[in-house]
A and B are shown apart, each in its own frame.
Chain A
Amino acid sequence: MPTITIDGKSVEVEKGTTLLAAAQKLGVYIPRYCYHPKLSVSGNCRMCLVEVEKAPKLVTACSTEAAEGMIVRTASDKVKAARRDVLEYLLINHPLDCPICDQAGECGLQDYYMEYSLARSRFKMADKARRQKRRAVGPHLVLDNERCILCTRCVRFCSEVTRTSELEVMERADHSYIDLKEGKALDNGYSLNIADNCPVGAFTSRDFRFKQRVWFLKKTPTVCLGCATGCLMEAHHNENTIYRLMPSPNAETNTWLCDHGRLTYKAVRAGDRLTKGVIKNGLIDLEPALREAGARIDEARGAVAVLGSPWLSVEDNAALARLAKDSVKTENYCFDFASEPGIKDGILINKDPAPNTSGTGLVKTAHGGLSLEELSRRIAAGQIKVVLAEARAAGLLKDTLKAAAPLLVIFAANKGEIPAGTYATLPYASYFETPGTFVNYQGLRRRTAPPVEAPEGVKPLWAVVNKLAAYSGASLQLDSAEDALKGIVFK
């Protein structure tokens, strides 16, 4: 284990540790463009040059391994001059796009220029080399070759992470530019990570483009509910609107975030978002909708089935279980969802598309209930008159429900989710609007944090269930989501 000295502080590091990683351990920040902790080392941007005593030249901190007794300086005059020169070099042909560039505010060039350079350009605006300006490459990205500094993070991401190798550096020397096969789209399911990885504004997200200046965005750490992997992410929002989802790298699940997961926030402000109840096809206020649904459930009682959902939080599933057991007092309820979890593509996307299959298991352990097959059999046998279910979970019994045609009371956040033939639909707050506990495929307990508020009149599902209970049977008196969790044991 070599011991090295960086800026007068000594540190012992594992063999093979780079100077950049060692400095990071000491809290010394070394600027970088091409280096990314999860990609191979390229060493082409030269921004991380540091001085090593007795070395004839400055060395790149990202690619130099620490050796016993090295004395490293990251803030000497020589290093400062090198950083200024590298920045001047990178900026010679960089267009002055900042006022119209989406990257402004989180741009490596802007940040480092302010930190390490502040020099005036010695080149005339008119002499700048021109490159191809913005063009869409694939469904999620825009590429502006003129802004590119050729750090090749995007090239390495495509060849090392997604292994699709769409991107390459074409031509050579001062003609080089990033490109892909003509007519081919950059659409590998993870393409938006390229926009994050790009340290400048060359790759930007088509979805986020021109929607919001990044310095207005507030950041709320939350969990992705796109599948059972349960990636940690940050919702970036302003004035009650979410603008984008970004990964929060962590050791347990994810460094990146898939394109599908990133766009899950769209449903929150979608045109078909439900803010009122629906009876048959007519919109109606929540209260009368609840009364109607409650009355139908009350009539049927023992012939009511309540189906939990792996798309709902543990709290909301627990509230549904309480409704079945303590209010409606039916034995026909089910929190039994089998899945075969595991990473499907070797990166992030899970075989199980539902985020909370493990969480419904906890509810089943606490409250019991039928197996999904048994419930399905009872519905098919005509023993069930009313089915209360979340829309996507009802989809699991699609054929049975269609054949037996019981009265369907559905919880749905968007109109598009409502199954055909539904009698009553009750809206609920999405997990971007209310907190919820989810258990991912590894058994990790994760809680969503709401970045935005629910539309007026839309309540969390447990609260809707609480009100429904008053109309359909004995009152549950749930005052908070935690009340519903009584009896549930987390591992």
Chain B
Amino acid sequence: MAFKLTEEFKTRAEKICAKYPRRDAALIPLLQEIQKETGYVAEEAMDALALLLELPYSRVKAVVTFYTMFNREPTGKYHLQVCRNISCHMAGAEGLLALLRAKLGLAEGGTTKDGLFTLSSVECLGACGSAPVMQVNDKYFEKLDEAKLSALLEDMRHGRLQH
């Protein structure tokens, strides 16, 4: 599939570029824009962005692969990101992950067939005070336990989660 940056995106990109002393500094903000629009950063998008910013393709790819928050494949409607670092781990993140794996029938990194959920474990989300934490798309859900998580999952299944 040939990927093309829309004219609208290009205009927006120019505005973002103008904020920085060098064009290539806008790489990460623009990658975030692309991810916001399409949910992930496709190989073709990296190519297009490299051309737009006059960067070598390998540089763009290196940045995308360095930052784990850039998805390189399409995700489900809800991207469940469970923190697995020490505070959350001690507060029971391992159990939450196991519950999600069992309920969704997924391994980490997988997406359900209905395209609703993608499950990931991630590094520290910076909310250790309210561990265990799960991020769903842009939203944090804190001080989780198995009951809360099950209810949350039901809400998402029935589209009752506001986001």
The verdict on B141 contacting chain A, using a C-beta distance below 8 Å, is: no
Which of chain A's residues have a CB closer than 8 A to the CB of B66? Answer: 170-172
Binary per-residue interface labels of chain B (49-80) against chain A in the complex, 1 for a CB within 8 Å, 0 otherwise: 00000001111011001111000000000000
Contact A166 B58 (CB under 8 A): yes
Which of chain A's residues have a CB closer than 8 A to the CB of B68? Answer: 172
Contact A172 B65 (CB under 8 A): yes
Contact A181 B58 (CB under 8 A): yes
List the 6 closest A-B pairs by CB distance, nearest first. Answer: A165-B56, A168-B62, A168-B58, A170-B65, A172-B66, A171-B65
The verdict on A167 contacting chain B, using a C-beta distance below 8 Å, is: yes
Which of chain B's residues have a CB closer than 8 A to the CB of A476? Answer: none
- Chosen A-B contacts, 30 in total, with CB atoms closer than 8 Å, are A159-B56, A164-B56, A165-B56, A165-B58, A165-B59, A166-B56, A166-B58, A167-B58, A168-B56, A168-B58, A168-B59, A168-B61, A168-B62, A169-B62, A170-B61, A170-B62, A170-B65, A170-B66, A171-B65, A171-B66, A172-B65, A172-B67, A172-B68, A179-B58, A179-B61, A180-B58, A181-B57, A181-B58, A181-B61, A182-B43
Q: How far is the CA of A181 from the CA of B60 in the complex (A)?
A: 10
Which of chain B's residues have a CB closer than 8 A to the CB of A168? Answer: 56, 58-59, 61-62
Interface SS, A side: loop
| B58, B61, B68: residue with the most chain A Cβ atoms closer than 10 Å | B58
Which of chain B's residues have a CB closer than 8 A to the CB of A170? Answer: 61-62, 65-66
Q: How far is the CA of A165 from the CA of B57 in the complex (A)?
A: 8
A177 nearest in chain B by CB position: B65
Count, A-B residue pairs, CB within 8 A: 31
Q: How far is the CA of A205 from the CA of B89 in the complex (A)?
A: 47
Binary per-residue interface labels of chain A (180-193) against chain B in the complex, 1 for a CB within 8 Å, 0 otherwise: 11100000000000
| A166, A179, A181: residue with the most chain B Cβ atoms closer than 10 Å | A181
Which of chain B's residues have a CB closer than 8 A to the CB of A179? Answer: 58, 61
Q: How far is the CA of A164 from the CA of B55 in the complex (A)?
A: 10
Q: How far is the CA of A404 from the CA of B23 in the complex (A)?
A: 60
12 further A-B pairs in the complex, CB-CB below 8 A; given A180-B58, A181-B57: A164-B56, A165-B56, A165-B58, A167-B58, A168-B56, A168-B61, A169-B62, A170-B66, A172-B65, A172-B66, A181-B58, A181-B61
Give residues 147-203 of A contacting B (CB, 8 Å). 159, 164-172, 179-182
Q: How far is the CA of A197 from the CA of B56 in the complex (A)?
A: 22
A163 nearest in chain B by CB position: B56
Give residues 97-126 of B contacting A (CB, 8 Å). none
Would you give the shortest CB distance from B32 to chain A, in whole angstroms?
18
Q: How far is the CA of A182 from the CA of B72 in the complex (A)?
A: 15
Q: How far is the CA of A167 from the CA of B59 in the complex (A)?
A: 8
Give residues 437-471 of A contacting B (CB, 8 Å). none
A182 nearest in chain B by CB position: B43
Which of chain B's residues have a CB closer than 8 A to the CB of A164? Answer: 56
Q: How far is the CA of A170 from the CA of B58 in the complex (A)?
A: 8
Would you give the shortest CB distance from B160 to chain A, in whole angstroms?
37
Which of chain A's residues have a CB closer than 8 A to the CB of B62? Answer: 168-170
B47 nearest in chain A by CB position: A181
Which of chain A's residues have a CB closer than 8 A to the CB of B58? Answer: 165-168, 179-181
A184 nearest in chain B by CB position: B57
Which of chain A's residues have a CB closer than 8 A to the CB of B61? Answer: 168, 170, 179, 181
Which of chain A's residues have a CB closer than 8 A to the CB of B59? Answer: 165, 168
Would you give the shortest CB distance from B35 to chain A, in whole angstroms?
18
Q: How far is the CA of A170 from the CA of B68 in the complex (A)?
A: 12
Which of chain A's residues have a CB closer than 8 A to the CB of B67? Answer: 172
Q: How far is the CA of A180 from the CA of B68 in the complex (A)?
A: 19
B46 nearest in chain A by CB position: A181
Would you give the shortest CB distance from A238 to chain B, in whole angstroms?
38
Would you give the shortest CB distance from A20 to chain B, in whole angstroms?
27
Q: How far is the CA of A463 from the CA of B29 in the complex (A)?
A: 71
Which of chain A's residues have a CB closer than 8 A to the CB of B57? Answer: 181
Q: How far is the CA of A169 from the CA of B66 in the complex (A)?
A: 9
